[in-house]
Amino acid sequence: MHHLNFSEKPEKNRWARPDSNRRPPPCKGDVINQLDHKPNFLLMSPFTDKNVTNLTDLSLPFAKIELESYTTARTRNISKKSVYWIVKASTILWEKTQGEISQTTVNSLYNYVITQFTSHDSWGKVLNFTKSFLKYLSKLHLDTRYQNFTLFLDMPKTRKDRKTVTSRIVTKEDITHVIDGLFAAYQRQHLSYTTMVNYVGITLFGAYTGQRVEATISKITVAQLRNAMQMNPPVLHVASDQDKIRMEHYVPIHPDLLEILKDLTEGKADTDRVFEFVGYQCWMKRNRIPLSRVPTMNFIPSDVRKFAEQYGDIIQWGQSNRAYILTHGVSGVDWSHYKHPLPEHVYANYMQFWESAHLLEKEIPREITGTSGLKVAQPRAAPSTA
């Protein structure tokens, strides 16, 4: 019988060597701390002191090049207006923090923004940019504590007056006042004939179509209008980069617009832009025209779009056709996945409501040359009733 000897070592130890396959336990590795999940070089940083248990005592660094890199990425392929506010927010962030994120610097930034700007939207642009940058730093430095400072960047609670409709009321009478003002400026030789016709064209085109003046109307080219007037029915194709929400769509050309649009495109290159928005805007600022229903407010270029929307309620303009042409309220699933109106149908539905609308109550003055060589205006002859 074989007797067991419990003093003998197990079989596996008989072949094991003292230096074979010896590894430290996982919790004692020299690269990653298993509890914090951070590299040791970050744990040894003077800005990540383990003894800091309060945001009041915490200070975290960032480099100016990191802010510049983030700002550059945020401003890529966006509109100039958005670029302006992002760059402005980035400049304020650096001036108030100087590369140090702490309760003191963040509070300094917050107080500056609240006192410097009065608009709730302006507060949001700067504070939200700062929050996003802190989130970026937390990922870049593998340190989530950067985001803890968003605690001091919450928007202030403000009491908003409840309103259900806009305070700006734009009527057909206001469109007439603007056009009369342009005619009068031409009669006084404050505007050239070409400029007067161009500004009248902006006013009428915006009022009939409801397109955004700066985002769309100012970008329309001569070739686009020529192609639109050659179509049957006349419909303008607006590209996605000519719309604020980047929605490609069709815009019907009202019959009352055809003659003035032909004048505006005559003798110009296809690549030229038709409307002079900057000059139109400056003329509006210098020549204030009060709104007939709200005399404390003056007519501004964007009011032509507001007129189209409000006048559409008067003529009971169909909501679907209106939303498509104005590219307003088209963010639903039905628009993004199902609807795709054809140009002839867009025009037919539009004319069903706008055909009887005539906004130009007076003929545009003709340009003739008097004996003195100065440009003078004469009204166009009224059509014969015989």
**pLDDT for 252:** 97
Q: Is residue 20 part of a domain?
A: no
Rounded to whole angstroms, the Cα distance separating 271 from 222 reads 6
Q: How confident is the model at residue 233 (pLDDT cuts 50, 70, 90)?
A: very high
Whether pLDDT at 262 is above 80: yes
Residues 110 and 248 in one domain: no
Which of 23-27, 125-129, 191-195 has the lowest average pLDDT?
23-27
Rounded to whole angstroms, the Cα distance separating 311 from 354 reads 10
Residue 230: give the domain boundaries: 172-368
Residues 214 and 306 in one domain: yes
Rounded to whole angstroms, the Cα distance separating 43 from 51 reads 12
**pLDDT for 10:** 54
Query: Which residues lie closer than 8 Å to 37 by C-beta, 6 or more apart?
Result: none
Residues 197 and 284 in one domain: yes
Q: Which of 102, 119, 153 is the last residue of a domain?
A: 153
Residues 135 and 181 in one domain: no
User: Which tens digit of pLDDT belongs to each residue from 307-321?
Assistant: 999 999 999 999 999
**pLDDT for 5:** 57
**pLDDT for 170:** 96
DSSP state letter for 357: -
Q: How confident is the model at residue 22 (pLDDT cuts 50, 70, 90)?
A: low
**pLDDT for 43:** 44
Q: Is residue 178 part of a domain?
A: yes
User: Which tens digit of pLDDT belongs to each residue from 45-83?
Assistant: 444 555 677 888 899 999 999 999 999 999 998 878 789
**pLDDT for 82:** 84
Whether pLDDT at 25 is above 90: no
Q: Which of 120, 153, 186 is the last residue of a domain?
A: 153
Residue 171: what residue type? T
Q: What is the pLDDT of the chain when averaged over all its residues?
A: 85
Sign of the dihedral through C-alpha 79, 85, 88, 90: negative
Burial of 312 (0-12, 13-18, 19+ CB in 10 A): buried
Rounded to whole angstroms, the Cα distance separating 304 from 175 reads 8
Whether pLDDT at 32 is above 50: no
Residues 220 and 319 in one domain: yes
**pLDDT for 373:** 33
| pTM of the predicted structure, to 2 decimals | 0.66
Q: Is residue 215 part of a domain?
A: yes
Can you read off the two tokens belonging to residue 166?
Answer: 């806009």
Residues 117 and 193 in one domain: no
Q: Is residue 384 part of a domain?
A: no
* Structural contact between residues 230 and 306, judged by C-beta atoms closer than 8 angstroms: no
Which of 129-143, 144-158, 297-311, 347-361 has the lowest average pLDDT?
144-158
**pLDDT for 81:** 78
**pLDDT for 78:** 84
Residues 264 and 137 in one domain: no
Residues 242 and 186 in one domain: yes
**pLDDT for 133:** 96
Rounded average pLDDT over 17-34:
53
pLDDT exceeding 70 applies to what percent of the chain? 80
Whether pLDDT at 341 is above 90: yes
**pLDDT for 313:** 95
**pLDDT for 56:** 87
Q: Is residue 381 part of a domain?
A: no
Residues 212 and 117 in one domain: no
Q: Is residue 123 part of a domain?
A: yes
Residues 120 and 196 in one domain: no
Q: How confident is the model at residue 41 (pLDDT cuts 50, 70, 90)?
A: very low
Q: Which is nearest to 305 in space by CA: 214, 206, 218, 216?
A: 206
The CA angle 214-222-217, to the nearest 5 degrees, is 15
Which of 1-15, 117-131, 140-154 has the lowest average pLDDT?
1-15
Count of the separate structural domains present in the chain: 2
Whether pLDDT at 377 is above 70: no
Q: Which of 126, 153, 180 is the last residue of a domain?
A: 153
Can you read off the two tokens belonging to residue 342?
Answer: 């054809």
Domain CATH for 242: 1.10.443
Residue 191: what residue type? L
Q: Is residue 130 part of a domain?
A: yes
User: Which tens digit of pLDDT belongs to each residue from 152-205?
Assistant: 999 887 766 666 678 899 999 999 999 999 999 999 999 999 999 999 999 999
Of these ranges, 15-29, 143-157, 273-287, 329-343, the one predicted with the greatest mean pLDDT is 273-287
Can you read off the two tokens belonging to residue 356?
Answer: 């009887």
Rounded to whole angstroms, the Cα distance separating 347 from 235 reads 7
Give the Å distances, CA to CA, from 371 to 191, 317, 336, 367, 368. 20, 49, 60, 13, 10
Give the Å distances, CA to CA, from 331 to 53, 214, 317, 346. 46, 21, 20, 19
Q: Is residue 44 part of a domain?
A: no
Burial of 307 (0-12, 13-18, 19+ CB in 10 A): buried
Residues 144 and 180 in one domain: no
Residues 115 and 208 in one domain: no
